[in-house]
Structure 1
Amino acid sequence: MCRSNHQSGSFIQYWCFNLVPTPTMVAIVLAQRFPLMSLACCLESLRIANREAGKISFTRTILTADDGPATSSSGIPLTPDAILSDVRFAPIVLVLSSYRPEEACQPLFLGWLRKQYRRGAIVGCVDTASYILAQANILGAHKVAAHRETLSSYREILKSVALLDQLVAADDRIVSSAGGVATLDMMLGVISRFSGKALAERVAYVLNYRPLAADAKSAETSPEGTIARVERRLARLIELMQSHLETPIDVATICRMAHVPPATAHRLFHRYFDTSPSRYYTKLRLERAQWLLGNSALPISEVAAKVGFEDASAFARAFRRMFGSLPSSFRRHGNEPEIIGSHKVERYRAMRCSAETTPKSTP
């Protein structure tokens, strides 16, 4: 099996052309709070690939990490097609997770993943699922893409894993996506590998999608990254702030290290972010704390220390000013499924139930 070429122009070209007998089974494994957009990218790309090929090139089955129903991060519940033990082998296994991937790292699921990989499956991880694959001990020296919000944290936690600041990556039998619409690029690579580049390009065309560059940096897709390409001085300042979240340094020192006059730094931050450098720096630290609270079991005092707050009370006050809740409250409720308008649904159900159970009056 050929390895990927990291110098390719697009992710479709990222794969070696490798035809296998069809249909090819794809097992999509969902963790609790899975990303719904990424699931849609997987399902729609496979559906359109079959339509455009004029035959069933891919079949798919949806599984969950705990064999029970899974709820997306947006509150949409989904029942699996089968349980893990029903699938002895799938040539392609894709794991989707977002918040709290450690909850999916149960022995039964990790053992199933290891068996799939040992039997020759291509295994993909989306968003935070690189954490799950690392716990299953199947990443080894393989390079994987990581979401920019988790990159620095995972580099601390998963020290032996080669995490890339990229939207997509392919390294032999490990494929990865940083999440979101970049998952579609990962799927185009999978389709190209199993059914040819022409079909992958046709799928992209039908979806009105322009594939990303293979070496696209996730930072380049953020507002900060977009601005930074235009204003390199601002990029240097932000990079230094991001590399000193745990041990903050004063803005004057950052300006000196970036070779940017303090007055210029203030002008740039006000122009592009409508805030001062110090407030922007604090925002970065608190956003990092928010992620740690939602995605780790670290005590709140340790979270505070990891973003440069020696006093937990001062950290709690700053966190509340930024996000409107205390760190303890955010940890309890912040990662619940973000159900849009669910109160309306519950109200409708309650009204319908009441109408069905209330005896009708006779004339």
Structure 2
Amino acid sequence: MQQAKFHNPQPTRIGFLVVPNYSAIAFSTAIDPLRMANQLAGIPLYEWSVISLDGQPVPASNGLAVSPNTDINNAGKLDMLFVCGGIDIRDCCDQRLLRWLQSLAAQHVELGAICTGTYLLARAQLLRGYRCTIHWENISSIDEEHQFPDTVFTSELFVIDRDRYTCTGGIAPLDMMLNIIGQQKSRSLAETICEEFIHERIRNVSDMQRIPLRVHLGTSQPKLVDTVSLMESNIEEPLSLNDLARLVGVSRRQLERLFKKHLNCAPTRYYLELRLNRARQLLLQTNLSIIDVALACGFTSPPHFSKCYQHFFGHTPSQERRGHAASRGHTATSAARPASAHDP
């Protein structure tokens, strides 16, 4: 690639703050576009550093750890900072970290978040009046708890709102960073990076993070897609099968045939599984009582909710929550235990 003239000859300095159990794939797909931008441009357009709370390695959710360059007290001058989150993000709300994020905002550092890192920006009160996104598994629990009423959480792949940059997990950071590179440096440079990474296209802010059912079914089953959309929008107060059929303009019998043929289940079963999966998200991601979770997912009888949950997942809601708490405690203990020469 021919070296282009760029408006800002000084490298953009970007920090990546990693917290325990961050997503390794999301972290990597955020950094690699910067490396490729420098390589293709032939000049250092970007400089980046990895930062942790205390400068010590932080294990990702896959158990691997990257050695940070520095800690939050010695991060130096930054133009942008991205908070890299993953699972159990609520356990990472260290007050020192939140205060540091607030100090960066006061210095007009542009702030971003990857995967569930958005939660930490919101907890630091740095997303008030902003639109943002977070991994789809976390949106329902945040909405249910009404923790951040002044922040709009969307289902978009990534959101760029003024000086805030948020994206979901997986390879979504690749698309967000390509859009940032296109805005800051050169659109043609971003497109060339996309080709180098064998990425089909640069997705934009209008792309949604979950693969819609219509992608799987194509355009031949609009009634089925509309029905599932109605189900997903009516979890707390489920619609009857007759109401669903009426709203999409088919008979109940025809709707049952569509579900059986294309999804291999009855519509009532599909609806129940949607509600149970939502309930599991709320159990694992919020402090709502089991009764409140049941009501939020359309179960008026807690015993009926528990029975359905156990039949579908193999254990009761209370067992689910206790098991999750125990596994988190075990992980924290293992991470804190110093390595021994006798360890396997």
TM-score, normalising length: structure 1 = 0.80
Report how far residue 109 of structure 1 moved.
Answer: 1.1
Q: 1:49 aligned to 2:37?
A: yes
| Structure with more relative contact order (C-alpha pairs < 8 Å, separation 6 or more) | 1
Instruction: Report how far residue 192 of structure 1 moved.
Output: 2.3
* 1:95 aligned to which of 78, 83, 86: 83
Kindly indicate whether the alpha-carbon contact (under 8 Å) linking 1:25 and 1:58 is maintained by their aligned counterparts in 2: yes
Q: Once the two structures are superposed, what CA deviation does each residue of 1:173-196 show, in whole Å capped at 9, x if it has no partner?
A: 111212211210111122223332
TM alignment of 1:132-281, pairs within 5 A = 132-156=120-144, 157=146, 158-209=148-199, 210-219=201-210, 221-223=211-213, 226-227=216-217, 229-281=219-271
Percent identity over the alignment is 25
One-letter amino acid of the structure 2 residue matched with residue 307 of structure 1: C
Partner of 1:3: none
Return closer, same or farther for 1:271/1:43 CA change in 2, 3 Å cut-off. same
Does structure 1 retain, via aligned residues, the 8 Å contact 2:175–2:204? no
Instruction: Report the CA distance between 1:333 and its aligned residue.
Output: 4.0
State the match for 1:326 in structure 2.
Answer: 316
Name the CA distance, whole Å, in 2 between partners of 1:354 and 1:37: 27
1:308 aligns with 2:305: no
Aligned to 1:122: 110
- The CA distance in 2 between the partners of 1:19 and 1:180, in whole Å, is 31
After superposition, what is the alpha-carbon deviation per residue over 1:144-188, rounded to whole angstroms, capped at 9, x for unaligned? 233333333333423321222211221111112122112101111
Deviation at 1:124, TM superposition (A): 1.3
- 1:80 alignment partner in structure 2: 68
For 2:26, the aligned partner's letter is S
Deviation at 1:75, TM superposition (A): 2.9
Say if 1:261 and 1:288 are closer, same or farther in 2 by CA, change over 3 A: same
Hey, what's the Cα distance between the residues in 1 that align with 2:342 and 2:118? 43
Q: Is the 8 A contact 1:89 1:116 kept in 2?
A: no
Q: Which runs of 4+ in 1 moved over 6 A?
A: none
SS at match of 2:136: coil
Distance 1:134 1:230, change over 3 A: farther
**What is the DSSP-based 3-state SS (H/G/I as helix, E as strand, rest coil) of the residue aligned with 1:218?**
coil
Q: 1:60 to 1:204 in 2, by over 3 A?
A: same
Give yes or no for contact 2:140–2:278 (8 Å, CA) kept in 1: no
Q: Secondary structure at the match of 1:180?
A: coil
Residue equivalent to 2:23: 35
Instruction: Determine the C-alpha separation between the residues in 1 that align with 2:241 and 2:343.
Output: 61
Q: Is the contact made by 1:92 and 1:121 (CA closer than 8 Å) also made in structure 2?
A: yes
Is 1:105 matched up with 2:96? no
1:88 Cα deviation (Å)? 4.1
In the aligned structure 2, how far is the partner of 1:264 from the partner of 1:136? 50
Aligned length: 326
Q: What secondary structure is seen at the aligned counterpart in 2 of 1:153?
A: helix
* TM-score, structure 2 normalization: 0.84
Classify 1:261/1:120 alpha carbon distance in 2 versus 1 (closer, same or farther; 3 Å): same
The alpha-carbon deviation at position 69 of structure 1 amounts to 3.8
Residues 307 and 316 in structure 2, CA contact (< 8 A), matched pair in contact too: yes
Cα distance, 1:172–1:47 mapped onto 2, change above 3 Å: same
* Alignment partners' CA distance in 2, 1:90 and 1:137: 20
Gaps of 5+ in 2: 329-338
CA 292–218 in structure 1, closer or farther in 2 if over 3 Å, else same: same
Does the 8 A contact of 1:155 with 1:161 survive in 2?
no
Q: 1:328 to 1:80 in 2, by over 3 A?
A: farther
